[in-house]
Chain A
Amino acid sequence: MKNPSINIELEFISSDILEEFKGEEKMQYILDKIKDNKILVMEESLSSTDEAKLIEATMRNISEKFSGIEVSTLREKQENGIRETIIKLLGGKTGGLTVIGPSKLIKQIKKEPKRISVLAEKKQSDSEKNSEE
């Protein structure tokens, strides 16, 4: 039985890169990287609306090879708080962090209010097992 080495690639993405994209482009940029088996750590928290858009975009991308994502967001403060709204109006960044990866790679993502822990494991799908036999 083969015991292949496991490579897990992490990519840290600055919020400056994400600002270049608008609407659906941003979601597709994220999903293209995840479909390439990367775990992304993004220097921004997605808003609730963006999270919903990301889930919608994920559903449209699901196939036999891509079964979806695991995602977790840390927000520094309340998303729609006065401080955050003023910072956004002035063009500033409110901080936060988002971790996203393919569900086939992320075994568990544990979220707490101020901490995210990720356990990644290369799982072999039934179809991969069958192709080895």
Chain B
Amino acid sequence: MPFRKLLGWFKGFFGKKKIIRLGLYGPPNAGKTTLANKISIDWTGEPVGTVSEVPHETREVQKKERVIVKVGGRKIVMNLLDMPGISTKIDFEEFLQYGFSAEDAKQRAKEATKGVIEAIKWLENVDTALVIMDSTKDPYTQVNITILGNLEARNIPIIIVANKIDLPDSNAKWIEEAFPQHPIVRISGLTGSNIEDLYNAIAKHSK
């Protein structure tokens, strides 16, 4: 119907709320799904995905659509995109250590490779990226550098999340020193510590 089309155009032109595609990137076991669940539960009451100590638990992009975050007088509507962890290696034998049968381990490894490819393909389809790093580990890895480099090349706003600050050997300063060019928020996705800082950063930097 032409009237509806025209109305849609006016709404779009005069400030209809844009939905931000917020991608959560990082290596496996950095705490992406834990954080995605925290954000989603805070604002919708429902989780996004399953958390596990087994690497590559998230093997497909998991979405939570229309998450409305209210922060500092602003209302942000976003689609949360929890990405599979990006890695340069996947060894099926690693899964055997977690009690998988050889057949299941091979299947999981196969699915994990597809997940990594999917996460890379999504790099050009997010509006803002949270790059999650485990603050107990050396952040200056090629995977982190590759993720940041690809997002920078596409001018996608980046917020680095120094996660797991609840752990005794956390060293968020390490991340701040490695990547001083990006905003960094120290949080614990598990306990929710400093999560408000992250919401403020999303409101400030996202587009």
Contacts and interface: CB of A to CB of B under 8 A. Distances in A.
B115 to A, nearest CB: 9
Nearest to B96: A126
Interface string B38-58: 000000000000000000000
Interface in B63-101: 86-93, 96
Interface residues of B, number: 28
Interface string A48-67: 11011001101110101001
B90 A67 contact: yes
Nearest to B123: A52
Nearest to B143: A55
B123 to A, nearest CB: 7
B interface: dominant SS:
helix
Given A48-B152, A62-B113, A73-B142, 18 more contacts: A47-B149, A48-B148, A48-B150, A51-B146, A52-B123, A55-B88, A56-B116, A56-B117, A56-B120, A64-B106, A67-B89, A69-B89, A70-B89, A103-B91, A104-B91, A111-B141, A112-B140, A125-B93
Nearest to A48: B149
B153 interface: yes
Contacts of B116: 55-56, 59
A72 B141 CA distance: 8
Interface of A: 47-49, 51-52, 55-56, 58-60, 62, 64, 67-73, 79-80, 103-104, 109-113, 125-127
A56 B116 CA distance: 7
B142 A103 contact: no
B113 A60 contact: yes
B43 to A, nearest CB: 31
B131 interface: no
A103 B109 CA distance: 15
Contacts of A51: 142, 145-146, 149-150
Given A58-B88, A68-B87, A48 B146 contact: yes
B88 A71 contact: yes
Contact of A71 (B113, B114, B142, B153): B142
A112 B153 CA distance: 21
B123 A111 contact: no
B141 A55 contact: no
Contacts of B88: 55, 58, 68-71, 103
A77 B109 CA distance: 36
